[in-house]
Every structure is written in structure tokens, then in C-alpha cells.
Structure 1
């Protein structure tokens, strides 16, 4: 006979406990719903995904590769390892799996944490820093743990034609708009720049001194001039102050982003305006004019203006010389318009150059002396007659002469005819 005595009451109680425990497990497993946040222990890593056991759920779940992290990675082990316990979001139930299984996401849990952090920063008006992930049509895509977008108009406080150089660049941003439920996050770097400039503007305005020559960067171009950034304050270079020569369009000689030297002409602290000049930092066109245009030199120029007393000819950019009407032609002319036109290219000879007075005397006639010597016979006859008259006048001892002296016997002939 066996010494073992079966205790049926004890066995029944144990059996009931086992049944109750299994039912509890099943009840807990069934209580898992899509959208719930659960804890999972990583059981294995295979085929670029992680297999986890849902703690307290009695079932397993799968975290696919694209739901592991919002940040770029190559290997799953960069994000998770066997034995890790992490928070996960239930995406959906995989019903065809034995014992049931769930599709899970770690990325979405991380995103919730990021969105909460962004919300706090937005409410506190904080500036965030993040890298530019990509350049797309209309702006920049930024990685702040979630996808952020910077419209083209909010990248800088000036126009930017090509954003390709911004990719990979770490920048500061102000949060303009966010809506986590729609994964919508709008950022602005322009707002950060404007805030910084405004903060520095007052201090910089106090440091600027009229007459100083400083360095700046061309920020904007308009049809009336160029705005130059002096490091927080924009000053205007009027189109008349860009160069010594005439400038039709500022864009012909300047480019956005170009570094330039400027002279401070005036400062209006009350209205925050600064007037600048590039022209005053450049060597004047009249500098060393006697060397560039020595007396006797033959230059090519363009007729810029015609007046009643002569023609102004530009022989160097910003340098105009005068061809007096008496130096235009050997022939008598009433006005320069008879032989010259504005915009006409001509050759001139330098008669005199005065740098201090910014005066240059030119002649067209001096280059035509040879042609005059080969004038027709009629012209030579006229010149001889004039010369003879001049010699006659020169011989008069008193320097006075009458009409009768000039006409001589011809006047006597007229008198005899009248007496007849």
C-alpha cells in the first residue's frame, strides 16, 4: 500500500488557481487596443525588425524597421538590443498569428515626446536648433525629431535664389505654427535673424560715425540703389553713390551677397536710417588725369552733351572733356549740332588737363590740320585775300582806315559816272 494519500480538495484548488491565472492572462491580452501605449521587452532581432513580448499582455508584438526610430539609422541594434524594455504604441492587431500578435511602433512614442517638447518650447517662445534634412520646392525640410518645414519666404530676411547650399546646415529657428495631430510644424529662420538684428541695431547705430569707411554685404537691390548690411543695420547706397560713372541699374555692377567697402555719409538714429557711398571709397576718375591724358595725346571718346559753346566728350568713365566750338572744325559752324551728335564716337586731341579743377580741354580740329592744308584752290584763294587785307591794315601807321582806303580807285569811278 502506498504511503501517498491524494488530497482531492488541494488538487481542485490548485486547478482553479491555474485556470484563473490563464483567464487573467487572456483577459489582459484581449484588453490591448489600437492606440494604446504598452511596455515591451525585446526578445529577438531578425529580418530588420524587433520581436518583443508585451509585458503583462501575454502576447508578442513586432516592431518593423520603419517604426523603430524617426532618426536615420543603418542597423536595428543602433536603436534596440535584446533585453531592452521600451514604451511602444499599438498600431494594429495581426489576427492571423497564433496566440495573436500586434504591430507596434517605437517611433511614434518618441514622436509624442518630441511633440510635447516642441509644444513647451513654442509656449515659452524658445529658439530651437536643427539640421536641414532636405531642400524641396517651396522651402526646407528640417529634422527636429519630427519633420519640420521652413517656407522659402521664412528662410532669410532677404531673397535667396538657390537653397541647395543649405542642405545639411544646422540652423536656428523660431516655431511659427504646430499641430501634432496633423504632423504640422512650421519654422522660421528669418524671424530669428530679424530678432537678432533688432537687438543689435541700437548698439550698432551708436557705434557708427559719419565719415568712417566700413565693410558690409549687399543685402538687397532696388531700382534706386542698394541696401548694404553693416552687421545688423542696413544702410542705403543711392544709385548716384555706387560709382563715379553713370549707373543705369544697380544690378549691373553689384550682386546680392557681395562684400563692399562703404563710406558713411549720414546717420539718422531716430528713424534708423544710414546713408552710404561706395563711390567715395574708390579712386576718383580724375586722379592722375595728367598721366592718363597727357597734352598732345589722342583719345577716343563719346559725345555726351552738346551745348551752344561746344561738346562734352567722355574719354574715361566719369571723365568728360570740353571741345570748345572753336576746336570742332576749321570751317565756321554756328552750333556744334551741325557736325556732331550725342552718342557719337570720335577722336580728340588733349590740349590741356587740370586735375585740381577737373577740367580737360580737347580738340577735334587739331586732328584735321592735314586735311585743311589740302583744301581746294578756292579756299586757298580766300585765305590769301584775307592775308593781303591783314597786311594792308598792318601797314597803316595810325592803325585807322576808311572804306575809301579799302576800295581805292573803284570809288573814283563811281563818282565820275554820277557827274556825267
Structure 2
């Protein structure tokens, strides 16, 4: 073989190797991102030279949605993704979007490795979460990773660039999972450290209502929670924090107390405004008439709000002149507007005593002004109790006839049974007590008390003639004169024990007895035959002799009786 043939063969082999190497290199760039030069911009395509044997074409839509978005000119260098070296027309198939996606994946993988945050935009909602655009790469944001606390309205987050933390990536499957919550928690930790380091009592902060309980609300101050007690929410009465606060609400609070050791923070909202009690005496002087709203009703009265933060108590005794032993809820109702009078103010205890009944005329005083004691009235029996009768004197006022004022004679417990509710009766006004809101009436006072005048003529120790009315085992019920009642105990029936027998007497018999006791209030007297006999014996002994003279008691009594008979005959 000649030298020329050898040289030709060698050149041919080298060319084949180079050509094969070239083909291998060209094949290896499929699926990779390369730089290309923009050759021209046609109607819907952009021609780009990427160093291949033919230029590639990219849809103009991959560079923007409108002419204003497309910022590219011939000669610009752009990154493109080579999908295929040639299509059916011999052109390289390029993609700007895939190039951006590949570039994003590389950057995202680096960020995941270095645990760096990445920026993205939430642009769609899918099952279980949301889709996020991470500069060309689509990521999944689980619903649980959106925020630290549930968010009702995600509208403000959609389409807004914000940082995310990559949780995991699977390039083969094209999956990326990100978290917005992780970024917020890191920010909270940083903010908490800074907040606690600079926290001071008296500071005014902005927070979010995180939780509401019966005793208050927990407010998130940005990484650390503070307690807003129900009593520190408002100067006005609040029964439950939910009346003034809502979950997720943004509130301005003041740091009332901060314990650096326990990290406990006490907050207040009402402390941001002036204490209305500081000027309460000037605003609501005692005796002034005010308008208010009933805010709460209890067994012992009702609370009336005079203005925001200022409430007073209308005790049940100050609600009505005439409605006694009635629950306040039957006199006023919640949210009702009422007129009240300021009765008393205790600023130290933050208490105001109010009255409703004082705003109207006192019917007890009015009745006393128009009626005098001693006059006779007529009214309906409205109620019968164990201690007397209540007689209606007006629409609101009753008078009481006590048992003891039913009759001059007889037992009140028995007499009251003769009255019926609804009957109309007459009575005399005995007393009108405005302060005690009480009117005393009497029925027996309508007639003269004959027994009282008769009993005034009887003296203790005097001897009177009695008529036996009732005989019992204990003694004798008797009458003295026409109206006085008396009683002789069995032991007082005779001086001698053998003669102390009730069977010696009969109803209607008349006996002489000595008055031993007078009860003018009950208009009764106690008498004793025994005492009369002893008294007569003493007189006889003094007049006719003594036991020392030798005369017997029988002789003396006989002489005394004989003298008595002689005098009576004369």
C-alpha cells in the first residue's frame, strides 16, 4: 500500500471518529439547558441559535402573555431547554419554560440542601392544600402548613410573593412540598426573643386573640401569649369574654404585669382608656335623677348601666313602694330603659346604689296626707294570714287588721275563721307608718270597749261577786259584772284542801271571791275564794278575839257570822 493510501485511510478513520464523537456530544445535550442567541422574532415564534446545525424555534408565548410582557430582542442571550435536536422539519425543538423550570429545580435543590427559604406565589387551590409557583417550578402547600393558626380568608395570601421553606423534593416525580408555617414559626421565635427581651410593664402592643375561655382571652403578641382577664377587657360589666372579643381579632393591649421568671404576661384593654370612676361623683351626684339600661338581674336586685363602664345596683328593696317579696325580674327586664335616682356612691368599692321607686310619688306618704288616724274605712279582704287580715285601701296599698284587733272579746285565732277572702268589711285606721310602709287597722275599735271601763273600777284585793260560766277540772270560768271575765283556780276554791272541789258548784251559781290579779291588756282577772275566806278569818279574829283568850275559831266565826246576819236583817 502506497503512502498516499495509508494517509487517506488514516484521515478517513479520524474523520469517522470525530463525526461519531460529535454525534455523541450532540446527543448528550438533549434534555439539557444551554445558552442561545436570539436570531429573529417572527409572528408567533422566536428563532434561537444554540450552536447546532440548525436553529431552534420557541413559541413566543413562552416569553410572556402579551406584547408588553415580552422583553426580548435579536442578539439577546437566553437560556433554553433542548427537548430534541431535530423535529420533522430539521429544526431543534427548544423550550424557554422548561429551561426556567430546570434552572428553578437546581436553585431549589441547593436551597433545600442549605435550608434556605425560597420565594413563591400561591396561585391555586387543590385537594388538601394549594399550589405555589416557585419561579417556574410548581410546589404543593398542604393546608396544615399555610399558617400557625387557622385562617378563614386566604384571599389576601393568593398572588402575593412570600417566603416558603422547602420540606422535601422528588425531581423524578416532579414533586415539591413547601411550608409557609415553618417560616412563620421561625419568625415567631425570633420575634418572641426580641419581644421578651424588651418587654416592660405599661407597653402598648398589638396582638391577635388566640383563644377565649370563661375567665378571659389569650392574646398572641407575636411568639408569646398574654392573658387578658375578663375584668380587664372593659370598664363595663362583661359576663363572658366572647361578648367583646372574637377569635382571630386584632386587638391593642397594654402590659399590666410581666413576670420575667415565669414569662407570664397580664394584659388589659380597658387600661388604654381613662377610668370612668375617677369622675363619677361629679358625673352622678347623690340625689340626681338619671336614665339607664338594665344590664343584669339577680335575686337581690338589678344592675343598671348609667354610661359605658359605670353601673349601679338597684336593690330589690328600692325597686317598688308596694311590691314586696317579688323577684326583680318581675319588675324590670334586661335591656329595659329605666329612670333611677342616685342614693349613694362608694368610689373606693366602685359601687353606686340606685333607686327606682324614688322616681315616683311614695303612695304611703300620699295615703297619710289624705287620710287621718281614727277614721273608718271600707275595703275588700285581699288576703287572710295566720296573724290577721289584709284589707285593700287602694290599688297598691293594703292595711293589716291584726288578730288582736278583731274583737274585744274572744280568741282571734277562732274569730279569723269567720272571714272570707273577697268580703268587704269596715275597719278603723289605728296608725299610718310611712317609714315602715305599714298601716294598722282595727275592727274591734269600731265598738266601745265596755270591759275596759268596767275593769278600771276593780281593784286588786277587793271582793266581788262572780257568776260561774264554765266548770272544768282546773277550776271555774266566771263573769264579773256584764263584761269582765275571770278565772278561779281549783286550789283557790276553798281554804281547806278537802273543800277544793269543782263538783261543789254549778253553772249559774254566784260566789264571792277576792281579786288576786288584773290583766287589763287581756281584760281578764284572777280570783280566789280561798283568799276571801282567809281575809274574813283575819277580820273576825281581830274583831271578836284571839286564840289566846280561850275562844275557839268556831266560836269566833260563829259570832262573826251572827253579826253579819243581824246587820243584813236590819
TM over 0.5: yes
1:396-419 deviation line (CA, Å, top 9, x unaligned): xxxxxxxxxxx9655235863356
> 2:123 aligns to what?
134
1:133-172 deviation line (CA, Å, top 9, x unaligned): 6354644633434233444443332333223333453322
> 2:97 aligns to what?
107
Matched pairs, number: 381
Report the CA distance between 1:198 and its aligned residue: 1.4
- Contact 1:62/1:102, CA 8 A, preserved across alignment: yes
Equivalent in 299, 312, 320 of residue 291 of structure 2: 299
- Report matched runs for 1:11-410 at 5 Å: 24=19, 28=23, 32=27, 35-37=30-32, 42-53=38-49, 55=51, 57-66=52-61, 68=62, 74=67, 78-79=71-72, 81-82=74-75, 84=77, 88-91=81-84, 93-95=86-88, 97=89, 100-128=90-118, 130-132=119-121, 134=123, 136=125, 138-139=129-130, 141-209=132-200, 211-224=201-214, 225-244=216-235, 245-250=237-242, 252-254=244-246, 256=248, 258-267=250-259, 269-270=261-262, 272-294=263-285, 295-302=287-294, 304-307=296-299, 310-316=300-306, 317-331=308-322, 333-334=324-325, 336=327, 340=331, 343=334, 345=336, 346-369=338-361, 373=366, 379=393, 385-387=429-431, 409-410=450-451
CA distance in 2, matches of 1:214, 1:257: 17
- Contact 1:240/1:247, CA 8 A, preserved across alignment: no
- Contact 1:246/1:318, CA 8 A, preserved across alignment: no
- Contact 1:45/1:82, CA 8 A, preserved across alignment: no
- Contact 2:302/2:316, CA 8 A, preserved across alignment: no
- Contact 1:49/1:76, CA 8 A, preserved across alignment: no
CA distance in 2, matches of 1:151, 1:388: 83
* Secondary structure of the structure 2 residue equivalent to 1:116: helix
CA distance in 2, matches of 1:30, 1:248: 76
CA distance in 2, matches of 1:83, 1:275: 62
CA distance in 2, matches of 1:25, 1:212: 81
1:292-326 deviation line (CA, Å, top 9, x unaligned): 4332314233273444xx41322335544333454
- CA spacing shift, 1:28–1:246, aligned 2, 3 Å: same
- Contact 1:239/1:250, CA 8 A, preserved across alignment: no
CA distance in 2, matches of 1:389, 1:366: 17
Larger radius of gyration: 2
> 1:416 aligns to what?
481
| 43-52 vs 249-258, greater mean Cα deviation | 249-258
| 359-368 vs 246-255, greater mean Cα deviation | 246-255
- Contact 1:286/1:358, CA 8 A, preserved across alignment: yes
* Secondary structure of the structure 2 residue equivalent to 1:165: coil
- Contact 1:235/1:274, CA 8 A, preserved across alignment: yes
The answer for unaligned runs of 5 or more in structure 2 is: 372-376, 380-392, 401-427, 435-447, 456-479, 485-509, 511-570
Report the CA distance between 1:279 and its aligned residue: 3.1
- Contact 1:352/1:360, CA 8 A, preserved across alignment: yes
CA distance in 1, matches of 2:102, 2:261: 48
- Contact 2:208/2:221, CA 8 A, preserved across alignment: no
CA distance in 1, matches of 2:163, 2:280: 52
Report the CA distance between 1:114 and its aligned residue: 2.1
1:53-86 deviation line (CA, Å, top 9, x unaligned): 553x5344322234x55x8774797356347485
* Secondary structure of the structure 2 residue equivalent to 1:112: helix
The answer for unaligned runs of 5 or more in structure 1 is: 1-8, 391-406
Report the CA distance between 1:174 and its aligned residue: 1.5
Moved beyond 6 Å, runs of 4+: 374-377
Compare relative contact order (CA 8 Å, sep 6+) and give the higher one, 1 or 2: 1
